[in-house]
């Protein structure tokens, strides 16, 4: 069946308007992508130079001039020492979580795997308490809070560096 000339012109106008809109969206997204690429390249360059770490250490020296700087650097670099895991020793938290897993359930392996993941995430997460974790003499609670923030920043820098 042949189309009326009027219908064809209307369809052509709709098509051209839609194409124009899509091309403008495409151009906007391409500029956004190029902006993100530039940002990623700048971040990679700054991480590969290690200037961020040196800058942080200089800032720490000015933040805490009256405290033992070696202790400050040690804390920021390593965080608190983790308890050594002895093979064969049961983790009480793991035992508590495993209590809810039914062995005859066909998905018990999935549940156990998820419990292991949760425990690993909890071990990697660093949480600090002023009374328990402050091992630096002469550091006030407010200063310890700033030091913990610097530790979190360093941990993020280390993770980014490993990803690169």
Structure token digits, residue 107: 């998905």
Assess contact for 151 and 79: CB atoms under 8 A: yes
What is the reported pLDDT for 48? 66
Q: Is the pLDDT of residue 103 over 70?
A: yes
C-alpha 150/C-alpha 42 separation (Å) is 22
Q: Which residues are CB-neighbours of 143 under 8 A, at least 6 positions away? A: 63, 64, 67
The average pLDDT across 9-36 equals 93
Q: What pLDDT score was predicted for residue 26?
A: 96
Give the lowest-confidence range in 51-55, 62-66, 80-84, 124-128.
80-84
C-alpha distances in angstroms, 28 versus 25, 37, 38? 5, 14, 16
116: enclosing H helix or E strand: helix 108-124
Asked if pLDDT for residue 85 goes beyond 90, the answer is no
DSSP letter, residue 89: P
Chain center to CA of 83: 23
Band of pLDDT at residue 95, cut at 50, 70 and 90: confident
Question: How much is the pLDDT for 35?
Answer: 93
pLDDT at 25: 96
Angle between helices 69-78 and 141-163 (to 10 degrees): 50
Residue listed under structure tokens 């991480």: 47
């Amino acid at each position: 069946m042949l189309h009326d000339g009027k219908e064809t012109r209307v369809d052509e106008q709709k098509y051209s308007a839609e194409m124009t809109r899509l091309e403008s969206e495409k151009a906007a997204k391409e500029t956004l992508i190029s902006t993100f690429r530039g940002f990623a390249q700048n971040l990679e360059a700054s991480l590969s130079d290690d200037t961020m770490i040196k800058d942080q250490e200089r800032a720490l020296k000015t933040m805490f001039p009256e405290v033992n700087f070696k202790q400050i650097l040690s804390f920021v670099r390593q965080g608190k020492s983790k308890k050594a895991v002895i093979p064969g020793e049961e983790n009480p938290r793991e035992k508590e979580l495993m209590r809810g897993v039914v062995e005859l359930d066909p998905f018990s392996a999935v549940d156990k795997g998820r419990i292991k993941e949760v425990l690993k995430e909890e071990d990697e997460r660093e949480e600090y308490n002023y009374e328990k974790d402050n091992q630096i003499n002469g550091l006030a609670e407010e200063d310890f809070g700033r030091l913990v923030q610097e530790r979190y920043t360093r941990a993020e820098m280390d993770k980014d560096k490993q990803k690169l």
